[in-house]
Amino acid sequence: MINKDNLKIAIVGCGALTRIFYLPVFKRLSVNPVVLVDPDLTSINDLAKSSGAKKISNSLEDIADDIDAAIIATPNFLHFPQTKILLEKGKHVLLEKPIASKEALVKELINVEKSSGVILQPAMMRRFWKINKAVKTLLQEEIFGILQSVSMQEGGVLNWPVQSTAIFNPALSLGGVLMDTGSHTLDLLCWWVENRDFELEYEDDSHGGVEADCRLSVNFMNTSVKAEVKLSRIRNMSNEFILTGTKGWIKLKPWGNVFEASDRRIEKYIYRQYTREELKKQSFIDLFTEQVKNWLFAIEHGSAPVIDAESVLPSIRMIEQGYQHRRQLKYAWN
């Protein structure tokens, strides 16, 4: 058994995500990274001091042999190559979304993970929202009957404090709002529906750059479930997910454990799992904390993480097929 107190962890990529979430989580868990990796060494000197990191580096290759595990929070195009390097060296990885841009690449990482005997955990932290876990149980136990449809609208004018322009460059980001927000939204959809066979239609507003607005229609085979997904970085959406079954419905927000249901029966079922106070208290920092704790527990005990790479294959395939079959999004004024 590995003791987390002796685990040498690197944080690779020290942009907004690391500053806002991962470093505060490490403080909360009384864990110090041994090294911070970022191409801009000047910008992370202060982070090294405040986080307790003993070293900074601008090269993953230079420090890979000196660590046991790493969190990868770099621009999307680096996720696959950096993770593969670390897995091949027998290092555990917590990998930010998207885990890769293509299903074949995810399978390649899974094969390396298995052959190296290490942990690769995708950072799909939305599965840790209590309401999302409650919905999963509702569906499994058919509390509102057989699921028939899912409507997911998410987005607003982009206000994330980006540290580089990578998010706006298709070669670096590997996509726009579908690859970014959609990695989380579609992961939830596939996790809830549990059906890996689907057909889809996809359209977005790209004219050569990254898409900022997109629509996805999914027909899950072998079931009656149909899903409509709308994502945006340029307009404020309703930001609600609606799941409708043969005996009721539930409406929830993409964040914050806020929900409505068609009847008291569904509400009572959820409140038997989590009290109102438990739902109100959970925050984004709690999600990241649970995510990191689960990863560390899996490493310490040699157990499978709650979220494994196999489970994200359907959502990655959905994104990949969307881009492959892309059509131009039409607006009323076109």
pLDDT in tens, 237-282: 999 999 999 999 999 999 999 999 999 999 999 999 999 999 999 9
Per the rule left: phi > 0, alpha: psi between -120 and 50, beta: everything else, 257 is left
Mean pLDDT score, 198-208: 96
User: Whole-model pTM?
Assistant: 0.95
Distance from the first to the final alpha carbon of the chain: 61
**DSSP secondary structure letter of residue 120:** E
- Whether residue 179 contacts residue 254, with contact meaning beta carbons closer than 8 Å, is answered with no
Average pLDDT, the chain: 95
Reported as a single tens digit per residue, the pLDDT across 286-321 is: 999 999 999 999 999 999 999 999 999 999 999 999
Reported as a single tens digit per residue, the pLDDT across 111-160 is: 999 999 999 999 999 999 999 999 999 999 999 999 999 999 999 998 88
Q: pLDDT-based confidence at 202, cuts 50/70/90? A: very high
Q: pLDDT-based confidence at 3, cuts 50/70/90? A: low
Could you give all domains of the chain from N- to C-terminal order, each with its CATH number? 4-124 (3.40.50.720), 126-286+315-328 (3.30.360.10)
What b/e readout covers 79-115, taking b as 16+ CB neighbours within 10 angstroms?
bbebbbbbbeeebbbbbbbbbbbbbebbebbbebbee
Q: Which residues pair with 11 in a beta bridge?
A: 36, 71
Would you list the DSSP string of 246-281? TTEEEEE-SSSS-EEESSHHHHHHHHHHS-HHHHHH
Strand order in the sheet with 240-245: 259-261, 248-252, 240-245, 147-155, 226-232, 213-220, 198-204, 326-328
| Whole-angstrom distance, CA of residue 154 vs CA of residue 238 | 7
Q: Which residues contact 29 (CB under 8 A, 6 or more apart)?
A: 289, 292, 293, 296
pLDDT attached to residue 216: 98
In angstroms, the Cα distances linking 79 to 85, 86, 90, 132, 205 are 10, 11, 17, 26, 25
pLDDT attached to residue 166: 86
| Whole-angstrom distance, CA of residue 221 vs CA of residue 158 | 34
Q: Is the pLDDT confidence value at 165 over 70?
A: yes
What φ, ψ does residue 199 adopt, rounded to 5°? Answer: -120, 150
- Whether residue 64 contacts residue 89, with contact meaning beta carbons closer than 8 Å, is answered with yes
The closest of 143, 169, 134 to 279, measured between CA atoms, is 134
The closest of 225, 208, 204, 206 to 216, measured between CA atoms, is 204
Q: pLDDT-based confidence at 6, cuts 50/70/90? A: confident
pLDDT attached to residue 195: 84
| Whole-angstrom distance, CA of residue 182 vs CA of residue 177 | 6
Q: pLDDT-based confidence at 107, cuts 50/70/90? A: very high
| Whole-angstrom distance, CA of residue 259 vs CA of residue 312 | 25
SS3 82: helix
Count of alpha carbons within 13 angstroms of residue 179, beta-carbon side: 27
Q: pLDDT-based confidence at 334, cuts 50/70/90? A: low
Q: Which residues pair with 328 in a beta bridge?
A: 204
**Percentage of residues in the chain having pLDDT higher than 90:** 90
